[in-house]
Amino acid sequence: MAEVLGGRAVRQVRLLLSVLKPGNHVPYAGPAAAFGTSVTSAKVAVNGVHLHYQRTGEGEHAVLLLPGMLGSGETDFGPQIKNLNKKLFTVVAWDPRGYGHSRPPDRDFPLDFFERDAKDAVDLMKTLKFQKVSLLGWSDGGITALIAAARYPSYINKMVIWGANAYVTEEDETIYQGIRDVSKWSERTRKPLETLYGEYLSALAASGSVPHLNRAWGEGSSGPTFPCRLHTQTCERVTVAFDARRQTQPASTFCK
C-alpha cells in the first residue's frame, strides 16, 4: 500500500501560476477552435451547475485533465489537448465550477471545495457516459485527482499528478498571500488569465484558496492539512518522476 502525497512543489506552482435538465449539452464557441476542428466545447449540467469542458479524440482510454488554481482546460492544457494521441485517448479538459467558462456561479471556497471538485469531476465524466477514466492533474487539480482516486477507486484507471501538495507550511502560506496581487505577476502568467476572466481576475485571485488555508491553519497546531492527505489510495505501482534541475523534488507521481 502506498499513500500518495504531494510534496512542497506548491511553491513553484504558485510562483509560476502561470436551469437546464441534467445531461443537456450546450454547444460553446470559444478558443477551443485554436486547437483544430477535432476539439469540441460544450457545457453540461452537473450537481446544480453548468460545467464547461473540451473534448477531443476517439480512443477507448478516457483521460480527464484537471487544471490548477484559477486555471481552465484551455489555459492549462493547450498542448495536451492538441498533441495527445487521439487514436489511443479520448481527452476531456474541464473547467471546475467558478473557473474558466464554468460560470456562473463565481468561484467560492468552502472548507470542502476540493472534495466538491472531485465529485463534480467524476460526475461530469459519468454524465458523459465514460465507464472508467484516468486523471491528469496539476496544482489544485492534482489535489482534486488524489481525492477522486481515493473516493472513487473503482472508477479511476490511472493517475498522473504534479505540483500538488498534501499540507501547507507557514512559508507556503506566505507565498499564497503573495500571489493575490495580479499586478505583481509576469505578463506571460497574467495575460492568458486576463483574456479569460477580464476585470474579474483581480477579485478571483484575491479570494483564491487563501481564505480556506487561513481557516484550516487555525484548526490544528501542526498546520493545515489538505483533504487528500486524509485519504489513502492503494496503487499497484507508483512511479515518481524527478525534474532533472531539481533532483531532490518530485516533479510528477504516477499511480497505477
| Alpha helices for 167-245 (secondary structure H) | 170-178, 187-197, 200-207, 210-217
| Position 233 in a domain | yes
pLDDT digits (tens, 9 = 90+) for 60-107: 999 999 999 999 999 999 999 999 999 999 999 999 999 999 999 999
141/133 Cα distance (integer angstroms):
15
| Position 188 in a domain | yes
pLDDT digits (tens, 9 = 90+) for 144-199: 999 999 999 999 999 999 998 877 777 877 887 888 889 889 999 899 999 999 99
Range of the domain at 69: 10-255
| Position 178 in a domain | yes
208/176 Cα distance (integer angstroms):
8
- The whole-chain average pLDDT of the chain stands at 78
- CATH at 189: 3.40.50.1820
Q: How large is the average pLDDT for residues 231-248?
A: 54
Q: How large is the average pLDDT for residues 125-143?
A: 97
| Position 2 in a domain | no
| Position 15 in a domain | yes
Cα distances (angstroms) measured from residue 218 to each of 11, 83, 122, 144, 225: 21, 44, 31, 22, 11
Count the domains in the chain: 1
| Position 3 in a domain | no
> pLDDT category, 240, cuts 50, 70, 90?
low
What's the pTM value of the predicted model, to 2 decimals?
0.76
